[in-house]
Amino acid sequence: VTDHRIDLTLYKLTAVLDGDLDDIIDALITSERAEKLGHGNGE
């Protein structure tokens, strides 16, 4: 499973299809926080 927006690739297709989205959600939260911090610095 790949999310190109945050450059994340997981080799856990079966787990993701079974609903194990923790790794994806954690990566999305981390990416969002980093983006917000970057915008707060005038970038």
Boundaries of domain holding 35 = 2-40
CA distance 43 to 25: 25
pLDDT in tens, 1-43: 999 999 999 999 999 999 999 999 999 999 999 999 987 555 5
CA distances from 28 to 6, 16 (A): 7, 15
What are 28-36's contacts with CB under 8 Å, separation 24+? 28/3, 31/5, 31/6
pTM: 0.77
Question: How many structural domains is the chain composed of?
Answer: 1
Given this model, what pLDDT does residue 40 score? 58
Given this model, what pLDDT does residue 41 score? 55
Residue 18 makes CB contacts below 8 A (sequence gap 6+) with none
Given this model, what pLDDT does residue 12 score? 96
